[in-house]
Amino acid sequence: MRARTDEAKDLRRQALLDAALDEFAERGFAAARMEDIARRADLSKGTLYLYFESKEDLFKALVDTKAAPRLDEIEALVTEMPSALEALATFAQLAPMLIQRSPVPRLAKIIIGESNQFPEIADFYRRNFIERGMGVIRSVLEQGVERGELEVEDPALTARLIMGPMVLSAVWHVLYGDKPDGRVDLEKLFALHARYLRRALVKREDEPT
């Protein structure tokens, strides 16, 4: 009986998070109301407050449950690669999936639109997703330098250069991805990105002839 009760609680919590993501993305964080989120989830406002005290709590839970786990999966796959070049190539292969098949772009859109008015949630997203992602890339670059694979002047800044196209593509996808003239072949884009990275970062003596 307890297991069924716990499962029901998990299902309600997930329904509320899904409703919050839709409400925030469609109306904006500032305009979204707790009662509308509860209504969208087919639950009462009182039930919503049993799980989350505020919209801020809802947003943080969205980052923890919908964005961070995707990053955990990418980090696990990337760190298993035997070389930095293979890790960067794997990152490039996974980027389109993260953009097209996850809520990450919608969360980015919310942050961009509301960061001035709600700096706390913007900082939370930056610390728990953006900086974590850049940290994974920086670690790959540093290991590549240590192993003599890569030639990188500043791993932290280079990580920003590598992640930049992902952030831009995520924002582009959520704003224009449903328009015929706004679609981008992300698989081709990130394959090209990976080739350029290889040319820019690989040590000259290690380049294939």
Q: Same domain for 142 and 194?
A: yes
Q: Same domain for 80 and 167?
A: yes
- Would you state the pLDDT for residue 1? 34
- Would you state the pLDDT for residue 146? 94
* CATH code of residue 10: 1.10.10.60
Given a contact cutoff of 8 angstroms between Cβ atoms, the answer to whether 18 and 103 are in contact is no
Of residues 112, 73, 69, 120, the one with CA closest to residue 94? 73
Q: Same domain for 76 and 10?
A: no
* Overall number of domains in the chain: 2
Write out residues in the chain with pLDDT < 70, as ranges: 1-4, 205-209
- Would you state the pLDDT for residue 2? 40
What predicted TM-score, i.e. pTM, was given to this entire model?
Answer: 0.86
Q: Which domain holds residue 45?
A: 1-53
- Would you state the pLDDT for residue 106? 92
State which of 9, 35, 53 marks the end of a domain.
53
